[in-house]
Structure 1
Amino acid sequence: MDIKLLKKIGNVDQLAGIRETLLLRGRGEQVHIAEFYNAAGLRFSVVPDRGMDIYDLSYKGVNFSFQSKNGLTSPQAFDAEEGTFAEQWSGGMLVTCGLDNVGEYCENKGVYPVHGRYSFIPAKNFGTETYWENEDYILRAQGEVHQTKMYGRHLSNRRRIETGLWSKTIKIHDIITNFEAEDEPFMLLYHWNFGYPLLDEDSFVKVSSQQVESQNDHSTEPTKMKLPVDGAEEELFLHRSRSEVGMGMLWNEHLHLGAYVKYDRAHLPQMMEWKMMKSHDYVLALEPCNTRGWNRAEALEKDAIAVLPAYSSIEIELEMGILDGEKEINRCREKIEKMQGERN
């Protein structure tokens, strides 16, 4: 422990900790939240009732995350019916999509809603802990999310989220397990959503990809952001990389702030980029994934869906970090440029 620091305070909660609360009103009534805060100025909320995803995130009082018009909604509000997704999606810093479907609604021996059911499933065995590890003070949450169906799948995700006393990074460790006797097709996408003021006309994106594919006719500019446009349509890009580790970043040249997302490409070989410059729905998402933008039915038809063997597990490591100042932003850009030159 840091004895010199401890002599300056009576309770470490003065600098860093995790506060667990329940929302009392609105569409998120009785939703359980675990709010992390630390001495570096990093603050974010983990929502165990929504798959242990991350809702709001700020750094030194500056918001980094996108929140939809719906606000944070209760998992009881979930409706799998076609056309209801936009009425219930909360946005947030991180939305985990899957584990049965990613992409548009489809029907294939069952109903598969947009981006699957995962983010509306409450975690079980959720807990938090804070403790000294040498001279760092660790803030950690862990829990399990089980996506199940009678006579069907049983996929689980055992998630750990942590940061430190002076850290500007969030580390996520997921263990996804198939508890069934049959191999199970599964889809996974980590939807990291950035909003104003980090996202603005002075913001830029860089991804460690050697190839970028536009997913529709009006997806033309993956790098430069712009001011909101009334009636703008979404732009969607698929980034292909050859490096062992994938990385994407968004930075704001006016604020001199940015953020990066880093992930292991062993189980997340692609990254999608969702650029929505529409007024009131202004968001840029970086999305490491194991899919190419097809929904479950399309991926099965093309024989392009990942399969988790019976009684097996995979482990996934992700990191999201804050970039504070031109020096850190430039260093991250240089790192990504180096990755772009790598080959497997």
Structure 2
Amino acid sequence: MKVKIISLAMILSFASSNAFAKEFVLIDNEQGISTGNWSISNKDTSVKAPAFTVQNAVLTGGKQAGSEVITITSGGFVIKLSPTRGMGILSVEGDGVRMGWDSPVNEVVNPANINLESRGGIGWLEGFNEMMVRCGFEWTGHAVEADGMMYTLHGNAGNTPVSKLIVDVKDTAPYTITVKGLIKEKTFKKSNLETWASLSYVPGARSFTVHDVVTNQGDYERDYQIIYHSNFGMPILEQDAQFIAPVKEISPFNDYAKEGLKTWQTYLGPTKGFDEMVFNIYPYGDDKNQTKVMVANKTGDKGAGIEFNLDQLPVLSLWKNTDTLKQGYVTGLEPGTSFAYPVTIEREQQRVRKLAPGQSVEFTLTYRLLAGKKAVDDYKNQIKTIQGDQLTTVVEEPMAYE
């Protein structure tokens, strides 16, 4: 019999992956834990860590009563997300730049006050104001009646409060803060999906990472879809702002979008009567199939970038909603497994993926706030490197009609 010798160094190595962290459980429905208002700072975890605070607040009044919001603050950089709304990211601000937008929906609406099937299946819009909302995971896309049910707009995840909520802070450099919540999409005889949705941030940085793991806990193969609906308004979005991406192919979502094909890389200012204009994009990736996309203001000193992997998220929807400021002046850069057509169309075009029983799939996206011309130019040059001399194919007709 062979005896495996484990050295002290190996033991310390094994321990280091778990020991040097502090974990705070804020919600656990199985254990009856609901912490409510709560906060910590770097002084509670490590005296050597850069200054930061993490706060959880329970909101009161109106449609947001009972909604919880976590705020991470470090070095003038502020991230707000809501575990009540499927771990959606409400806004990110720093250095005079905001990643987010001004929706007519100005409360963090508690899902208990939303009927997703209202208005013909678009009740989702009654809570839509996030910088990033997860559209999925059981299905996504435009509402449609099929299979004896209503597939409501963009699925359930964004309106599902988490069943568990954990804040993890590493005790050693770089002192990463991770907020993770468990989203359960479970329906008798239909769905048994569990998603650990997380956001990780290094204090002092101007970027953060979203990492989600979706698992089929059932005994049958099930569909899944996801669109990371990432939304930006002023001060990044303005007249002649730019969308920049390494585009392999672009096509209009519908006939209305055909009118914007000649100017898909730029934006209008607030324009009354402008309807939603959407484009379907297949991006190029680098040698690891990583890609980057961005939106920047006219002068190129304010922007937002997203990095993701095309094996995980092969398509991008570009949503232009340059309507009036009060109506919601916003653009969406939306990496996904699918485009925003109803699930029936996405199935026909074979973009709906499946999870076997017990199988998991993961998604990783890195968001970066770009403040100053150098930061914007550097990110733009990284995108240009991915594009290289590869051509962009512009398809003039929609790939499908609803």
* TM-score using structure 1 length: 0.91
Aligned twin of 2:87: 52
AA matched with 1:59: G
1:50-129 correspondence to structure 2 within 5 Å: 50-71=85-106, 72-81=108-117, 82-85=120-123, 87-109=125-147, 110-129=149-168
**Match of residue 340, structure 1, among 360, 370, 387:** 387
Is 1:131 aligned to 2:170, yes or no? yes
1:94-151 Cα shifts (integer Å, max 9, x gaps): 01001122221112222211001110001122021333322x3322201210111011
Rounded Cα–Cα distance in structure 2 between residues aligned with 1:284 and 1:175: 27
Deviates more, 1:332-341 or 1:215-224: 215-224
1:208-227 correspondence to structure 2 within 5 Å: 208-219=246-257, 220=260, 221-227=263-269
Per the TM alignment, residue 184 of structure 1 is displaced from its structure 2 partner at its CA by 0.8
Do the aligned partners of residues 150 and 342 (structure 1) sit closer, same or farther apart at CA in structure 2, a change above 3 Å counting?
farther
**Match of residue 78, structure 2, among 43, 52, 56:** 43
**Match of residue 308, structure 2, among 254, 260, 263:** 263
| Identity among equivalent pairs (%) | 21
Contact 2:54–2:73 under 8 Å retained in 1: yes
Contact 1:77–1:88 under 8 Å retained in 2: no
Contact 1:80–1:111 under 8 Å retained in 2: no
Secondary structure at the counterpart of residue 76 of structure 1: helix
CA RMSD of aligned residues (A): 2.3
Rounded Cα–Cα distance in structure 2 between residues aligned with 1:125 and 1:304: 31
Task: Give the length in aligned residue pairs.
Answer: 335
AA matched with 1:339: I
Rounded Cα–Cα distance in structure 2 between residues aligned with 1:11 and 1:53: 30
Per the TM alignment, residue 74 of structure 1 is displaced from its structure 2 partner at its CA by 0.5
Contact 1:207–1:239 under 8 Å retained in 2: no
Rounded Cα–Cα distance in structure 1 between residues aligned with 2:49 and 2:55: 9
AA matched with 2:54: I
**Match of residue 360, structure 2, among 313, 318, 323:** 313
Do the aligned partners of residues 106 and 96 (structure 1) sit closer, same or farther apart at CA in structure 2, a change above 3 Å counting?
same
Aligned twin of 2:24: none
Aligned twin of 1:23: 59
Per the TM alignment, residue 299 of structure 1 is displaced from its structure 2 partner at its CA by 2.0
Contact 2:224–2:354 under 8 Å retained in 1: yes
Contact 2:181–2:198 under 8 Å retained in 1: yes
Rounded Cα–Cα distance in structure 2 between residues aligned with 1:283 and 1:189: 17
Contact 2:300–2:376 under 8 Å retained in 1: no
**Match of residue 275, structure 2, among 197, 211, 233:** 233
Per the TM alignment, residue 60 of structure 1 is displaced from its structure 2 partner at its CA by 2.8
Per the TM alignment, residue 73 of structure 1 is displaced from its structure 2 partner at its CA by 0.7
* TM-score using structure 2 length: 0.78
1:72-100 Cα shifts (integer Å, max 9, x gaps): 21110221222543651322110100112
Rounded Cα–Cα distance in structure 2 between residues aligned with 1:43 and 1:202: 27
Is 1:251 aligned to 2:296, yes or no? yes
Rounded Cα–Cα distance in structure 1 between residues aligned with 2:50 and 2:346: 50
Secondary structure at the counterpart of residue 218 of structure 1: helix
AA matched with 1:274: W
**Match of residue 274, structure 1, among 319, 323, 344:** 319
AA matched with 2:265: T
Aligned twin of 1:168: 206
AA matched with 1:324: A
Is 1:193 aligned to 2:231, yes or no? yes
Deviates more, 1:252-261 or 1:186-195: 252-261
AA matched with 1:100: E
Contact 2:50–2:203 under 8 Å retained in 1: no
Per the TM alignment, residue 302 of structure 1 is displaced from its structure 2 partner at its CA by 3.8
Secondary structure at the counterpart of residue 297 of structure 1: helix
Rounded Cα–Cα distance in structure 2 between residues aligned with 1:131 and 1:67: 34
Per the TM alignment, residue 234 of structure 1 is displaced from its structure 2 partner at its CA by 1.0
Aligned twin of 1:325: 372
Per the TM alignment, residue 180 of structure 1 is displaced from its structure 2 partner at its CA by 1.1
Aligned twin of 1:289: 336
Contact 1:222–1:275 under 8 Å retained in 2: no
Rounded Cα–Cα distance in structure 2 between residues aligned with 1:212 and 1:306: 22
Is 1:304 aligned to 2:323, yes or no? no
